[in-house]
Amino acid sequence: MNNKPFIIGIAGGSGSGKTFFLNCFLHHFKNDEVTLVSQDDYYIPVGEMTQEENKLYNFDLPSTIDKEQFLFDIKKLVKGEVIYKKEYNFNNPLAVTKILEINPAPIIIVEGLFILHFEEIAAMLDHRIFVEAENAVALARRIKRDGMERGYSEEDVTYKWVNHVVPAYHEYLLPYRESCDKIIVNNFDTPDDIIKITDEISADLKVKYCKHKQEE
């Protein structure tokens, strides 16, 4: 296909600092150069749940993602079509749900926990980045984020971490670590370090993107 976008996959477990890395990374590109499609927006709706039901429900399984729609939308972007997608509100009834407009671009970033596990999506990736952090660091970030943004108690977060998050990470993400082109260790919340790393990666990828265009 002529003018096929360069597709970058960014995978990382919960609390790895992937969101901050992504924001720094995106800063290196103009709006019309890059677009982002996130696995989080493809959770299959489960309806309203009580706090206890939410605690017990395992969101960290591939079956909770609408993989077919996720793949279909990535293919639409590759074909140059616009995606309109309802933003996932993480089962928070108080959240205001937005309609996302995701425009095609020469560089497509696909991010999420299972993007390397979903074979058809993984096969579309031209470059793979793996973001990781030590277990204690990742858990502390998760407790802080889920408490502030989603209103979850530390007990609920810890339960999910032990019973859902860590087992899923070891089964559905970690086995693909060594197949990635770049591994980012993100144990410190030091913006300068991540900015430096994204500077280097972005420069390298712009070279790869130019080569990719020449080879079409």
Instruction: Name the pTM for this structure.
Output: 0.87
Residues in the chain: 216
Reported as a single tens digit per residue, the pLDDT across 92-132 is: 656 677 889 999 999 999 999 999 999 999 999 999 999 99
| Other Cβ atoms closer than 10 A to 145 | 15
**Cβ-based neighbour number of residue 168 at 10 Å:** 22
Number of domains in the chain: 1
Query: Would you state the structure tokens that stand for residue 167, as one six-digit string?
Result: 């087992």
Give the range of the structural domain holding residue 204, as residue numbers without chain letter: 6-215
In a domain, 84, yes or no: yes
pLDDT at 1 over 50: no
Q: Residue 1 domain-assigned?
A: no
Residue 130's domain is classified under what CATH number? 3.40.50.300
Domain membership flag for residue 42: yes
Tell me the H-state helices in the chain.
18-26, 51-56, 67-78, 119-124, 135-149, 154-160, 166-172, 191-215
CB 104 within 8 A of CB 35: yes
> CA separation (Å) from 9 to 91, 111, 126, 214?
26, 6, 8, 21
User: Is the predicted pLDDT of residue 195 greater than 90, yes or no?
Assistant: no
Q: Which two tokens stand for residue 205?
A: 């990828």
In a domain, 155, yes or no: yes
- Provide long-range contacts, Cβ within 8 A and 24+ apart, for 148-153: 150/90, 150/92, 151/92
Q: Are 176 and 116 in contact (CB under 8 A)?
A: yes
**Residue 92, C-beta contacts closer than 8 angstroms, at least 6 positions apart:** 150, 151
Distance CA(74)–CA(67), nearest Å, equals 11
- Asked if residue 79 belongs to a domain, the reply is yes
Give pLDDT tens digits for 135-182: 999 999 999 988 877 778 899 999 999 999 999 999 999 999 999 999
